[in-house]
Amino acid sequence: MITAQMVKELRERTGAGMMECKKALNESNGDLEKAVEILRERGLAAAAKKAGRVASEGLVETYISDDKKSGSIVEINCETDFVSANEEFASLSKNIAKQVASTNAKTIDELIEEKYIADNNISIKDAVTALIAKLGENMAVRRFNRFSIDKGVVHSYIHGGGRIGVLVEVACEKESDEVATVAKDVAMQVAAANPLFLSRDQVDNDTLAKEREIYKVQAMNEGKPEHIAEKMVEGRIQKYYKENCLLEQVWIRNSDLTITKYLQEKSKEIGAPITVTRFVRFEKGEGIEKKEENFAEEVRKQMQQG
276 touches 198 (CB < 8 A): yes
pLDDT at 9 over 80: yes
pLDDT at 306 over 80: no
Q: What is the pLDDT of residue 45?
A: 63
Neighbours of 250 (CB within 10 A): 17
Helix and strand element counts for the chain (H, E): 12, 8
* All domains in the chain, ordered by first residue: 1-48 (1.10.8.10), 52-148 (3.30.479.20)
Q: What is the pLDDT of residue 47?
A: 45
Say what the pTM is.
Answer: 0.75
Average pLDDT, the chain: 88
CA dist 304 and 298 (Å) reads 10
Phi and psi torsions of 223, nearest 5°: 85, 15
Residues of the chain with pLDDT > 90, as a percent, come to 62
DSSP state for residue 246 in the 8-state scheme: G
Average pLDDT over residues 110-133: 93
224-228, 272-276, 277-281: least confidently modelled range: 224-228
Q: What is the pLDDT of residue 258?
A: 98
Q: How confident is the model at residue 77 (pLDDT cuts 50, 70, 90)?
A: very high
pLDDT at 86 over 60: yes
CA dist 122 and 12 (Å) reads 43
Q: How confident is the model at residue 36 (pLDDT cuts 50, 70, 90)?
A: confident
User: Per-residue pLDDT tens for 90-120?
Assistant: 999 999 999 999 999 999 999 999 999 999 9
82 touches 89 (CB < 8 A): no
Determine how β-strand 70-78 pairs with β-strand 57-64.
antiparallel
171 touches 68 (CB < 8 A): no
Exposed e or buried b per residue across 124-161, where buried means at least 16 C-beta atoms within 10 angstroms of its C-beta: bbebbeebeeebebebebbebbbbebeebbbbbbbbee
CA dist 267 and 275 (Å) reads 9
Closest to 96 in 3D by CA, of 133, 146, 156, 148 = 146
CA dist 211 and 196 (Å) reads 14
